[in-house]
Structure 1
Amino acid sequence: MSQLNCLNLFNVQGQVAVVTGGSSGLGLMICKGLVSNGAKVYVVALPSDPINEVVDELNKLGSETGGSAFGFPCDLSSKSSIQALAQEISNRETHLDMLISNAGIRRDPPVQCNVLTASITQLQQSMWSSNETDWEKTFRVNTTAHYFLSVALLPLLAAAAAEGRDQGRGVVVITSSCASMHNVTNVDLTSYATSKAATDHLVKLLAAKYHRFYVRVVGINPGFVPSNMNPVGEEGNIFSSLFDKVPAKRPAIAEDIAGTVLYLVSKAGAYVDGISLCVDGGRVLLANGQE
């Protein structure tokens, strides 16, 4: 049956996407997956990020599929900057098929220790060294920005859902982390993991608020993914001792992340709403004692 053909189920040809944190890591993987399948992608990143270089790379990638990319600098910790971004997108588009709200930060304690082996004194010193402002910044980017982005772009998302909800159009995909589900790590990720746990709940809250327009809100909880935040394979990586403990025996690659997002934003995932999907190679099983 043609309607069950994978090219039909996962089709995003000509659809419009906004991807935050799109210049590196997870965001770049997602951008490549969308452009390679013919989507028009607005790449959002910090002004200091190499946006133009990334856009050039993506446009070359999309030259054979009709995919395209445009870059926009934006400080997502600022509500006014988010509003300006939404206005710029609204000036260019009548609808937005997908918002991939992916940007995130991590702020580790200045005084670090191995939380699995540290003494009480070492653990206390490390945790107490955390800065209040780091907690505030972490939540502002990792949680609050998702909220304001979805609100600012809601009319465009609703317009897409009204035209093609059965095709999966009009969806918000929020990047969380498997760190929201457990703490099987040697590094103190408390502020990061707490912000991601809040993000998981935000997915449900937003889905409940937007359900009347069938603007779907879903989340992904990735495990180890190569990025500036997690330089997999580089000497001195603080997580290197944990890679072999993942049942998949490897970090995630572009196909893992892009494939998950293509499912959630296309006809294949059009009946999925208000849930978060863990993409961690089975690492969460270790936290539940299922080795």
Structure 2
Amino acid sequence: MSLRALGLFEVKGRVAVVTGGSSGIGLMISKGLVSNGAKVYLVALSSDPIEEVVHELNELGREAGGSAEGYECDISSKDAIWQLAQKVFEKEPKLDMLISNAGVRHDPPLACNVLTASLEELQTSMWSIGSKEWENTFRVNTTAHYFLSVAFLPLLAAAAYQPINGGKGRDEGRGVVVMTSSCASMHNATNVDLTSYASSKAATDHLVKLLAAKYNRFYVRVVGINPGFVPSNMNPVGAEGNIFGSLFEKVPAKRAGNSEDIAGTVLYLVSRAGAYVDGISLCVDGGRVLLANGQE
């Protein structure tokens, strides 16, 4: 047994699927994996710059032996998820990790500051969002996690049961699903109406527990991360007019999250270091939840 960090957090040669991997948190995770020698199947929409990002990842992973391939997939479609899984099945006998990260946020088109709006303004704003936007939010942010984990379950189980070093792959953290949620699932303190988004993320937090319980017989672990303010298309940190701009300095860490924060957390969860972690979600928000809950 070695307690050296390089051994505990080793992911060299492991295989990952990362949805929403071409930007934001997904790209941070993909970079962290290929930089440490993992093979990443990057999944994104056809409108995303998949080829450019895959090229960047292959250059980044060259020294450590990491690599990337890109696939188009609309994860709001159950059929598309199954087709994606079949493509990976054709290439891989096992999948060490599924990083189910892709997400979407639909704000009411008639925005207001929910902390100061009058009753009439608040009602008008909240009523302006359509039911289709609510449905799409849950389809991408919650339902897709479910179908992705089910579609890739055989490959994940194969990784967990793979004989390695006198034990099983699960002993080294192989065969794990990591779902991206949000600290918005844990509090209701913001100036923006995130009701549909936060509700879908709260559902994701519970889904982590439900799926972990279902997959425990095969020791396919299911865990979640709840990031706070991290640069992404949803949250352009530093951009003029960012709707969350006034809140950054209120975070106890006094900064937004970055690649090291996100990649470090995921490397822990998918490696030997996190092999005994199952059915829980880790909040990575610089103390935002503590502040929101009045624990300054």
TM (norm. structure 1) is 0.99
Q: CA deviation at 1:99?
A: 0.1
**1:153-192, aligned counterparts within 5 Å?**
153-163=152-162, 164-192=169-197
Q: CA deviation at 1:184?
A: 1.1
Q: Which residue of the partner structure matches residue 71 of structure 2?
A: 72
Q: Which residue of the partner structure matches residue 276 of structure 1?
A: 281
**1:1-291, aligned counterparts within 5 Å?**
3-163=2-162, 164-291=169-296
Q: CA deviation at 1:19?
A: 0.2
Q: CA deviation at 1:248?
A: 0.4
Q: Which residue of the partner structure matches residue 166 of structure 2?
A: none
Q: Which amino acid aligns with 2:272?
A: K
CA distance in 2: counterparts of 1:216 and 1:158, whole angstroms: 9
Q: Which amino acid aligns with 2:30?
A: C
CA distance in 2: counterparts of 1:112 and 1:14, whole angstroms: 47
CA distance in 1: counterparts of 2:42 and 2:194, whole angstroms: 28
Identity of aligned residues (%): 79
Segments of 5+ residues of structure 2 without an aligned counterpart are 163-168
| Residue deviations 1:104-156 (CA, integer Å, cap 9, x gap) | 00000010000000000000000011100000000000000000000000000
Question: Which portions of structure 1, spanning 4 or more consecutive aligned residues, are displaced by more than 2 angstroms?
Answer: none
Q: CA deviation at 1:31?
A: 0.2
CA distance in 1: counterparts of 2:112 and 2:187, whole angstroms: 18
| Residue deviations 1:224-277 (CA, integer Å, cap 9, x gap) | 010011000000000000000000000000000000000000000000000000
CA distance in 2: counterparts of 1:276 and 1:167, whole angstroms: 19
CA distance in 1: counterparts of 2:198 and 2:294, whole angstroms: 19
CA distance in 2: counterparts of 1:48 and 1:242, whole angstroms: 31
SS in 2 for 1:220: strand
Q: CA deviation at 1:32?
A: 0.2
Segments of 5+ residues of structure 1 without an aligned counterpart are none
TM (norm. structure 2) is 0.98
Q: CA deviation at 1:71?
A: 0.1
Q: CA deviation at 1:66?
A: 0.2
